Structure 1
Amino acid sequence: MAEARADTAARPATPVRHAITPSPKTKIQAVAASRGEDIVVATHRLSPADTARVQLESLPGAATVIDARQVLKGRNFTNADALAFQPGVFAQSSGGGDGLRLSIRGSGIQVGTNYFRSGILMMFDGLPVTTPAGTPYELFEPLGLRYTEVLRGANAFDYGGLQLGGAINYVTQTGYDAQTYQARVEAGSFGYHKEQISSGKVIGKADYYISVTNSYRAGYQAQTRANSFGVNANFGYRFNDRVSTRFFFRYRQTENGYPGYLTRSQILENPKQAQAPYQAWGSIRIQPGSKYYGNMTTIDLDDRSKLELGFNYQDAPIDIETQKNSQVWGYKTVAGVLNYKRHDVLAGHKSDTQFGFMTTTDLEAWQSNRVRVQTANLVGLPIGQMLRHVTYGGTENYFHIRNNTELFDNFWLTTASALAFVQKSSGVPFPATAAGTNFAESSVNFVPRGGFRYVITPHVDLYGNVSRSLQPPNDWNLNYAGPYFPAGTPQAGMNSGAGKLRNQTATTYEIGTTGHALQNRWSLTYYHSDVRNELLSVMTPQSQAVGATIYGNASPTTHQGVEASLETTLYRWAGNTLSLRQAYTWQDFRFRHDATFGHNRLPGIPEHFYQGEIHLDTKAGFYAGFNAQVSSKVGASYDETYFAPSYHIYNLNVGYDWPGKHRQVFLSVNNLANTHYAAIVVPGYIAAGKELAVMQPGDGLGVFAGVSVGFD
């Protein structure tokens, strides 16, 4: 969905965020930015997504709200479907699994699809899902959401999001905005089917929402069978007009086949094949049952101040059965947030201040490697024999403060800073002969931010900011940066200990504009980041000896780009609308004077990425859309000698939404030309003229249909 902003002449001075338990009688009182007084300009109740969009207007930078009602008009298999048409966001799924290739402004550019996400703060309802290990991805079921906030770069500061990519906040439906009973079914090509049943209702001062989903897909590519089952529930209670609380629970289990990676020639010739020997091994990644418990309580202390207190607990076990050795992981973490917000008038100027604290800590974090396939160096060892046990630990604590003051009419100055305490550790207690078995590092970091927002006219505003970002390495990165067991041992090729990694930091300059005029609504942002110690793959003499790359800190790099969206109403007649929405991203990420790679571009992400859709909405309820996704070629090696080809993908979506009723049917046809293309590239180190198996194919031609029925 292209970015859409409300009239900038009517918006609050600070992002209040979504209400934890919204009142059904809530009305929006807008603030006329061109005056120093409050003016009531709307008496109707806005939708939760529209309310969030208005509240984000005070940010001096790029942010988007994705309304789930628009996303639900087509297939919702993975979060790649939900995050489409977002400028600056690169989200691609391969094989229909949950492990996306997800990056904002080059964040986590090195992380593949079968790892915890890096470089973006991920949240449910304002509570952090990101842990010291990164972000587990299996709980991010796209069905059951009301809207999603995408805050790019330092614009996530109010949430404690200090990472280069910013933050994504998934906001769940509640009893206030859900049907009492609802059922949805999707089915189509590649053996795909997905079912959802849900219920939500307000009962006096309480409300509830629960969604149960189940999905299966045989797969377009061999060895990509995927299935999942999940529960998403919450319960809210309003004690009085000032105090409310909401409890959250999520559970999900998944199984995703692992086909390995293909070369460029393999994808162009036959993208349905799996790479040997993964099909023979029956390689699969299993999340046997991840659990999430959370609570958020809001207290309106008075008419000018509010306190938010939240916590969550996560248990994310993983069983990776993809290689000759299995990897069983255990992660249990806790997190908490505390936010105090107040609105003041200082010397005649409106001023809004927020104090916040976010913390997340490992309670239990470990990895065990066991024999899965008896290969040459494992002869004589029984299946299931323990080879190595690794422990991890970490805590991340962020205290942040922000002030937003209207210095003069229509001009707002934002100042902010954060103090971060980060501690990470790793050890290899088994086998006892491991070298460098324990390693720990900690740091205290100061992260400043400043920005402005100027309302040029009631329909056009200009913003800019300068900020620092901080991205600590995931705790498991430390082990992958360490030394190796010697050749000839059963553990050969595995890391025998941890290594030091510095925090990735960056200074980012951002300027942009949003507005609407002449049937157009736009968003345009340019950013430039000077990055230090970027976390990338590197090769050392030790890793080269075993034919591997490790995580390391790169020489200085530069990230810059343009993020643009445009919504245009082409024609309106008799309650019908023909519109065009477009999202374009230019991304230029490169080394600066690297000893090996000079000024080469960083591989893995396309330089140019475009999505456009022409859409028809009729008064009778029929809708149709034809869209295109265009990607430039993608670097697949650091030496810039190997690339995934550019591609054009065309899709069609038609449906009918019964006016005034909660009934909907749709038909989606994806990749109409059956194009063979690489959706995901996890770059290799040096190709030197050779083809590397570093690509995963996108789906071929697929037809999908769905029906949703709800009633109160």
Structure 2
Amino acid sequence: MKKMMLSMLLASASSTAAWAADADRSDNETITVTATPDAEQARTEIERTPGGVSVVPDSAFKDTPVQNIKDILAYVPGVITQPRMGDDARVSIRGSGLSRAYGNRGLSMYLDGIPLNTSDGLLDFFEIDPSAYRYVEVYKGANALRYGSNALGGAINLVTPTGRDAPALDARIDGGSFGYVKGQASSGGSSGAFDYFATVSAQRIDGYRDHSKGDAIRGNLNIGYRISNNVETRFYLYGATTNQRIPGEVAKAQAINSPRSANPVWIVQDQQRNVDSIRVANKTTIRLGDTTVDIGAFYNNRHVKHPIFQWLDFTVDDYGGFVRAVDDRSIGSLRNRLIVGANIQNGKIDTEQFVNLPGAVKGALAASMVDASKNVSAYAEDSLFLLPNVAVIAGVQYLHATRDRRDRFLANGDQSGRTSYDLWSPRLGLLWDVDPDSQVFANISRSAEVPSYDANVIVANPALKPQRATTYEIGTRGRRGGIGWDISLYRSELRNELQCLTTGPFSACSIINAGRTIHQGIEAGLDAAVPLSALASGDSLALTAAYTYSDFNFDGDVRYGDNELPGVPKHFVRAELLYKHPSGFYAGPNVEWAPGHYFADNANSLTVDPYMLLNLKAGFDLGDHWSAYVEGRNLTNKHYISTVAVAGTANAASELFNPGVGRAVYGGIRYRW
């Protein structure tokens, strides 16, 4: 009975009753510290944040043909994922990285708390294995202070299982349209203080479009050891090799009328992105009375063979460490929770750039450079409970970043350069636990982003400034009976927004500062379980919906006035209605809807058309060993635009568009033991 009561207290740690009970715990009642909380503990922890956050458990995406990160984030309000080809996609939160035609900016991604971004901030998703995770944490905007991230889009943390919560065997095979085949197997277990989790997957796909074939092999190893009830250390090893051909952006008419075709220039150049990567990390968690400390270090190596408009061959070496302390105690009669931390992420990109001859053949050397990045950040956040259920939260982050390019190819002049940034980002918030099942929150936060190397910004535009934003946010989350909600309203006022504008098919995009812009919107999520007892006793309907309203504009720009910012639809809806039978059978439709036009350029001269996709899924899950699932996507075979590269001013011939995937059917079988 004592263990049951203690478990209930931990699950409701954010409530006053739980905290008081924990504070009164006798010395004989110990709680074993863990470096990796389970999904419910993660949800409790993340909801101490006075802003938009989410935890997506694996039950939301495991029993489905998971192909890319969109299948994980589809029902998180405020997150818009626009696939390009294969595993690649643009993920935008609150308008982050709107203009990116490749890679992602304005979003920090972590794997078990270890950075996936390169040290200069660039991110892509080729290394992510979307069916390998126990849960995924989403911190929108400056709410990602926990990870020292102050990017406009916030942070996403992918969390793998441990041997203490993973089955001895979990195997699956998926397949479907356009040559898609994926197999995955994982194993986990524990013995005394030791536990392990390992998973490996392999996939291939011919691709919906011409010249979009890809394959990947990915593996994760997670080993933990409990030195004592107060100390746990955990080692992580990740490896991946991915190969992906790139079909390229095309003009709007070609994307709509011939969506399976590729850009002919991309075919001649045989444009590809091939990545071999390995990541090694350790995290140790120590409890010292009322204080818990996380200490970690990591090393990431990535070799990229990337024939595009030129043949890029580069190696990324990143390394760093972090420390984070959480102290939860009483100051007089008031509860206080203090978080302090620091992060170091340094690295270099060693690049050789060649002329790309037809057929992806290396020609003459065109550029050679070493780009070094150093990032040191420190942050603190304090939550003081002025009332038993009301906390005032104040925080600040300091970032010192340097970017240093050493040019080794001087035929066209020395293009070496160095710049540094010192940025402060304060934060003030309020969190009200209305009752144990609902919260109201508000915050005012600053954020900052430093330019990356990928478009030669140090030399081409040394006056480029970091992007700054002030965000105002208010919202609520909670549950009443079978109905849950998550609603945030925000307004971000940006200065020097970083845009990467497409200027032509034979160069990288050009990064500029856009001056004053405004990002504001609504993020609304709903889930509901409605008991029916219609076809059988205990059957039900489950409704899941996410609505994102994105109102992004220039603010009195000299060239673009108050035009809308291009890149994403103003309204975006994902909704699913699922019938569930007590036998384990489930089935139902879901839709993706982007009503209304949006723009492909700053001048608002070229539009992207609205669309609606109808999907249907069904499956059978006995709840023990076997499950099977099938899903039909875009059943009406709608021709639509999935992703658009952004230009300053575009016309009908501008090659900016990636068509979405047509009608497809996928299915799979999963076995757990």
With the shorter chain as reference, the TM-score category is over 0.9
Distance 1:33 1:548 in 2: 50
Distance 1:28 1:700 in 2: 49
Per the alignment, residue 311 of structure 1 pairs with: 297
Contact 1:549-1:685 at 8 Å conserved across structures: no
- Show CA shifts across 1:237-283 (max 9, x none): 01110111110011111111111112221122110011112223322
Quick one: which amino acid aligns to residue 552 of structure 1?
I
Question: What is the CA distance between 1:31 and its match in structure 2?
Answer: 4.4
**Match of 2:42, SS?**
helix
- List aligned pairs for 1:44-443, cutoff 5 A: 48-95=38-85, 97-113=86-102, 115=103, 117-133=104-120, 134-287=122-275, 289-302=276-289, 304-323=290-309, 325-362=310-347, 364-373=348-357, 383-430=362-409, 432-443=410-421
Contact 2:252-2:652 at 8 Å conserved across structures: no
- List aligned pairs for 1:456-471, cutoff 5 A: 456-471=434-449
Contact 1:600-1:640 at 8 Å conserved across structures: yes
Aligned residues: 651
Contact 1:132-1:475 at 8 Å conserved across structures: no
Quick one: which amino acid aligns to residue 107 of structure 1?
S
Distance 1:437 1:281 in 2: 27
Distance 2:117 2:351 in 1: 19
- Show CA shifts across 1:533-590 (max 9, x none): 1111369xxx89x998621211111111100001122334333221211100001111
The TM-score normalised by the length of structure 1 is 0.88
Quick one: which amino acid aligns to residue 70 of structure 2?
A
Per the alignment, residue 682 of structure 1 pairs with: 645
Distance 2:288 2:435 in 1: 35
- Pair 1:383–1:169, CA change in 2 (3 A): closer
Per the alignment, residue 547 of structure 2 pairs with: 584
Distance 1:172 1:153 in 2: 23
Quick one: which amino acid aligns to residue 559 of structure 2?
T
- Show CA shifts across 1:627-671 (max 9, x none): 000013331111101012110001111111113x13210011111
Question: What is the CA distance between 1:140 and its match in structure 2?
Answer: 1.2
**Match of 2:494, SS?**
strand
Distance 1:312 1:403 in 2: 27
- Pair 1:370–1:612, CA change in 2 (3 A): same
**Match of 1:72, SS?**
coil
Contact 2:405-2:458 at 8 Å conserved across structures: no
**Match of 1:605, SS?**
coil
- Pair 1:132–1:627, CA change in 2 (3 A): same
Question: What is the CA distance between 1:474 and its match in structure 2?
Answer: 1.4
State the Cα RMSD in Å: 2.4
Q: Does 1:566 align with 2:526?
A: yes
Question: What is the CA distance between 1:412 and its match in structure 2?
Answer: 0.8
**Match of 1:317, SS?**
strand
Contact 2:640-2:660 at 8 Å conserved across structures: yes
**Match of 2:134, SS?**
strand
Question: What is the CA distance between 1:481 and its match in structure 2?
Answer: 6.2
Question: What is the CA distance between 1:235 and its match in structure 2?
Answer: 0.6
Q: Does 1:635 align with 2:619?
A: no
**Match of 1:52, SS?**
helix
Distance 2:663 2:284 in 1: 47
Per the alignment, residue 429 of structure 2 pairs with: 451
- Show CA shifts across 1:197-218 (max 9, x none): 1111112211111111000001
Distance 1:415 1:448 in 2: 8
Q: Does 1:504 align with 2:467?
A: yes
Quick one: which amino acid aligns to residue 438 of structure 2?
V
**Match of 2:635, SS?**
coil
Quick one: which amino acid aligns to residue 568 of structure 1?
A
Distance 1:564 1:618 in 2: 28
Distance 1:175 1:466 in 2: 40
Per the alignment, residue 647 of structure 1 pairs with: 611
- List aligned pairs for 1:661-680, cutoff 5 A: 661-680=624-643
- Pair 1:243–1:159, CA change in 2 (3 A): same
Question: What is the CA distance between 1:73 and its match in structure 2?
Answer: 1.7
Decide which of 492, 510, 521 is 1:529's aligned counterpart.
492
- Pair 1:26–1:434, CA change in 2 (3 A): farther
Per the alignment, residue 517 of structure 1 pairs with: 480
Contact 1:127-1:337 at 8 Å conserved across structures: no
Distance 1:436 1:537 in 2: 24
Contact 1:426-1:476 at 8 Å conserved across structures: no
Decide which of 15, 20, 34 is 1:33's aligned counterpart.
15
**Match of 2:454, SS?**
helix
Contact 2:416-2:459 at 8 Å conserved across structures: no
**Match of 2:476, SS?**
strand
Per the alignment, residue 10 of structure 1 pairs with: none
Contact 1:248-1:293 at 8 Å conserved across structures: yes
Per the alignment, residue 475 of structure 1 pairs with: 453
Distance 2:51 2:434 in 1: 15
Quick one: which amino acid aligns to residue 416 of structure 2?
N
Per the alignment, residue 515 of structure 2 pairs with: 555
Contact 2:248-2:263 at 8 Å conserved across structures: yes
**Match of 2:485, SS?**
strand
Question: What is the CA distance between 1:136 and its match in structure 2?
Answer: 4.2
Distance 1:234 1:253 in 2: 19
Distance 2:509 2:91 in 1: 21
Distance 2:306 2:472 in 1: 40
Decide which of 650, 659, 663 is 1:697's aligned counterpart.
659
Distance 1:27 1:239 in 2: 26
Q: Does 1:624 align with 2:612?
A: no
Contact 1:284-1:320 at 8 Å conserved across structures: yes
Any unmatched runs of 5+ in structure 2?
1-5, 23-28
Q: Percent identity?
A: 28
Quick one: which amino acid aligns to residue 153 of structure 2?
G
- Show CA shifts across 1:72-129 (max 9, x none): 121111111111111110112232x22211111111112223x2x2111111112222
- The farther-off stretch of 349-358 and 314-323 is 314-323
Quick one: which amino acid aligns to residue 351 of structure 2?
Q
Contact 1:139-1:250 at 8 Å conserved across structures: no
Contact 1:481-1:551 at 8 Å conserved across structures: no
Distance 1:481 1:268 in 2: 38
- Show CA shifts across 1:136-170 (max 9, x none): 43221112210000010111112111111110000
Distance 1:67 1:347 in 2: 38
The TM-score normalised by the length of structure 2 is 0.92
Contact 1:533-1:554 at 8 Å conserved across structures: yes
